[in-house]
């Protein structure tokens, strides 16, 4: 199998490449990544020593000529590349429109021309949010109701995929996943920011009252689901990926403090993010029953401990970005 995977120098894509090459040592992965601030080529430097199975190409998914050249030589495309940080989308939405909409369109046109299988990685944020006391969860048929520039552009990209399947017969599937955590995640994100703050002797920061609920899933479980969909998913279908990991932000911060040897209440409250969604929750019944997927990390505490251990052991990976990240948050008062 020859794969083109976009955005592999980012968090989930990096872990996906490592999983693919570990589980399928005869496959070849081409990684197309623009190397924006969230991309870290060093995450996959060890893979670059094996050009038979891994190739890095620096480039923009909006570059139609480059994308077509790369798509022409593969059997499938897995599209991870995205602008994904909500705070950044509130400050400047324009890169989100460019990457998430124009980039997806460019890839769809290339796979359409060369009749290549395509899998589109999306987010549960396209569904908006749920009330804290709502017993329901997101399903594949939940109406879209995005609330930020980020989630709006991801919703738009999902709609493009569906249109290209119906209008042009593109062989595509979509997955919408809940919040990922694990190794190689940029420290602007909630969990690694708190971990690295604690390592640096800085008190964690919690938006508002910390009541916002996220449905956490370890990145390894997400990527195993993507491989199942790529292998067995029905063309034109959407699959929701979740591991029943609902926790509010306050619970996560307090568990991190406990795991790292601090008092569970040793954190600061900061002003909430505008339009902050209250609760996400995924119903992954379709994925589990139709494709047989199930998560490995069923205990959030164990997965979080493994994540803490990784950041402690890999300071050289995240420290170069720490100062600039915190400076940006300081300007936002968060």
pLDDT of residue 329: 82
Q: Which residues are catalytic?
A: 124-125, 150
- The verdict on residue 152 lying in a domain is yes
Residue 170 C-alpha from the chain's centroid = 23
* HSE-CB for 166 with a 13 A CA cutoff: 7
Whole-angstrom Cα distance, residue 225 to residue 214?
A: 19
Can you tell me which residue has the tokens 């923009």?
60
Could you list the beta-strand ranges (E) of 166-230: 172-177, 180-181, 205-207, 213-215, 217-218
pLDDT tens for the chain, 334 residues long, are 999 999 999 999 999 999 999 999 999 999 999 999 889 999 999 999 999 999 999 999 999 999 999 999 999 999 999 987 777 888 889 999 999 999 999 999 999 999 999 999 999 999 999 999 899 999 999 999 999 999 999 999 999 999 999 999 999 999 999 999 999 999 999 999 999 999 999 999 898 999 999 999 999 999 999 999 999 999 999 999 999 999 999 999 999 999 999 999 999 998 887 778 899 999 999 999 999 999 999 999 999 999 999 999 999 999 999 999 998 888 776 6
- What is the helix (H) or strand (E) element at residue 110, kind and residue range? helix 103-114
- The verdict on residue 292 lying in a domain is yes
pLDDT of residue 130: 94
pLDDT of residue 55: 98
- The verdict on residue 295 lying in a domain is yes
pLDDT of residue 333: 67
- Vertex 121 angle, CA 116 and 123, to 5°: 155
Residues 122/178, Cβ–Cβ less than 8 Å: no
Number of domains in the chain: 1
> What tokens does 65 get?
């000529």
Residues 181/303, Cβ–Cβ less than 8 Å: yes
pLDDT of residue 181: 98
- The verdict on residue 120 lying in a domain is yes
- The verdict on residue 319 lying in a domain is no
Distant-in-sequence, close-in-space partners of 289: CB < 8 Å, separation ≥ 6: none
Whole-angstrom Cα distance, residue 52 to residue 73?
A: 14
- The verdict on residue 39 lying in a domain is yes
Range of the domain at 73: 2-185+217-244+280-303
């Amino acid at each position: 199998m020859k794969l083109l995977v976009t955005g592999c120098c980012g968090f989930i894509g990096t872990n996906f490449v490592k999983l693919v090459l570990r589980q399928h040592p005869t496959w070849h992965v081409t990684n197309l990544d623009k190397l924006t601030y969230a991309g870290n080529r060093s995450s996959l430097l060890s893979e670059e020593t094996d050009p038979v199975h891994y190739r890095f190409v620096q480039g923009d998914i909006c570059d139609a000529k480059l994308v077509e050249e790369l798509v022409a030589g593969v059997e499938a495309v897995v599209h991870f590349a995205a602008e994904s940080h909500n705070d950044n989308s509130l400050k400047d939405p324009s890169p989100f429109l460019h990457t998430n909409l124009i980039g997806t369109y460019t890839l769809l046109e290339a796979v359409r021309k060369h009749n290549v299988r395509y899998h589109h990685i999306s987010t549960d944020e396209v569904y908006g949010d749920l009330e804290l006391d709502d017993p329901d969860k997101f399903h594949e048929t939940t109406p879209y109701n995005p609330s930020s520039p980020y989630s709006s552009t991801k919703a738009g990209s999902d709609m493009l995929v569906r249109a290209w399947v119906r209008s042009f017969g593109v062989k595509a599937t979509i997955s919408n996943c809940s919040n990922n955590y694990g190794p190689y995640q940029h420290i602007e994100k909630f969990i690694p920011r708190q971990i690295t703050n604690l390592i640096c002797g800085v008190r964690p920061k919690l938006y508002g009252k910390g009541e916002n609920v996220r449905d956490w899933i370890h990145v390894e479980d997400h990527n195993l689901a993507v491989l199942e969909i790529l292998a067995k998913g029905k063309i034109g279908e959407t699959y929701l990926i979740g591991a029943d990991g609902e926790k509010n932000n306050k619970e996560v911060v307090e568990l991190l403090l406990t795991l790292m040897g601090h008092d569970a209440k040793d954190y600061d409250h900061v002003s909430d993010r505008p339009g902050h969604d209250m609760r996400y929750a995924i119903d992954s019944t379709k994925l589990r029953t139709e494709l047989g997927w199930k998560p490995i990390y069923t205990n959030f505490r164990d997965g979080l401990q493994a994540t803490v251990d990784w950041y402690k052991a890999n300071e050289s990976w995240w420290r170069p970005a720490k100062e600039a990240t915190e400076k940006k948050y300081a300007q936002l008062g968060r």
